[in-house]
Amino acid sequence: MLLVPDMPQQGFAARLVDDLQSTFSLPVPTSLLNGPDTIRAEVSQIKERLDAAGVGDIATVTGYSFLAATQMPVLVDGLRMSFYIAISVMTVLIALILRSVPIALVTLVPNLLPILGIEAWMVLTSQTVTLTGAVALLVAFGIAVDNTIHIVNRVRLLQCENATSQQVVEQALAALVSPIMTTSLLLIVGFALTAFSALPAVSLFGMLTAMAIIIALLADLFVFPSLVLVLLRKGWM
């Protein structure tokens, strides 16, 4: 493609040509819904056509979609690794503060389930974890940790009242179910509404966050109390 020197530098054309008219950009449309593999395949085809035209050494493929396909997986992997580092640090802190390794290990269950649940769903639906999905998991992880800490703290306070293990867990849940349910349901409804957005990234973020919060809520109200009850009965807490 040749650049005509007297091309009118107005409107859309002005954004594609530099001031010296020595280089220009050639937009190639692609769908925002395309995954990294699809985009990389398209880039390979474009490079082959540029090489065939004899301009492969002076033409460069760039743009948001290209950078997203090549750099986003690196960012997502780094963010995913930060999840597990944060979980490890949190577990160590709980063990040190509460002076109980068993309870620290048990807290891993409700905190990991939202992350593993969403990643399992994405694998089953042949989707890759994008930056949007990673941020959604980060939000859900924070909520799960908050709920877990509240339950552990309430249980330890009730242990001082000479109640049985069953009574301690029941009283802790009776005091915390209402605030945990209310907060979680408000967040679920709020994020679920964004799932109807016309923007794919916003829609995916809302859907994944709502799903992760649901998993975290179920884990904190049904799975975690059962594990705490086992620890109490064995005298490990």
Cβ–Cβ under 8 Å, residues 187 and 114 = no
pLDDT interval class at 61 (50, 70, 90): confident
Question: Does a structural domain hold residue 22?
Answer: no
Question: Does a structural domain hold residue 43?
Answer: no
Question: Does a structural domain hold residue 52?
Answer: no
Residue range 148-163, pLDDT digits in tens: 999 999 998 888 777 8
Residue range 2-32, pLDDT digits in tens: 333 344 445 555 666 666 666 767 777 777 6
- pLDDT for residue 48: 84
Question: Does a structural domain hold residue 111?
Answer: yes
Residue range 170-187, pLDDT digits in tens: 999 999 999 999 999 999
Tokens of 142: 């924070």
Residue ranges making up the domain that contains 96 = 79-234
Q: Which residue has the higher pLDDT, 137 or 175?
A: 175
- pLDDT for residue 1: 38
- pLDDT for residue 213: 92
- Point out the least confidently predicted range of 141-150, 167-176, 210-219, 223-232: 141-150
- pLDDT for residue 14: 63
Question: Does a structural domain hold residue 174?
Answer: yes
Is the per-residue pLDDT at 219 higher than 90? yes
Q: The whole model's pTM is what?
A: 0.73
Question: Does a structural domain hold residue 51?
Answer: no
Question: Does a structural domain hold residue 190?
Answer: yes
CATH of the domain at 116: 1.20.1640.10
Q: What is the 3-state secondary structure (H, E, C) of the chain?
A: CCCCCCCCCCHHHHCCECCCCCCECCCCCCCCCCCHHHHHHHHHHHHHHHHHCCCCCCCCCCCHHHHHHHHHHHHHHHHHHHHHHHHHHHHHHHHHHHCCHHHHHHCHHHHHHHHHHHHHHHHHCCCCCCHHHHHHHHHHHHHHHHHHHHHHHHHHHHHHHCCCHHHHHHHHHHHHHHHHHHHHHHHHHHHHHHHHCCCHHHHHHHHHHHHHHHHHHHHHHHHHHHHHHHHHHHCCC
For the beta carbon of residue 151, count every other beta carbon within 10 angstroms.
22
Instruction: Give the count of domains, the chain.
Output: 1
* CA pair distance 91, 132, nearest whole angstrom: 26
Is the per-residue pLDDT at 223 higher than 80? yes
Is the per-residue pLDDT at 222 higher than 70? yes
What's the chain's average pLDDT? 82
- pLDDT for residue 96: 92
Question: Does a structural domain hold residue 150?
Answer: yes
Residue range 92-100: mean pLDDT, rounded: 89
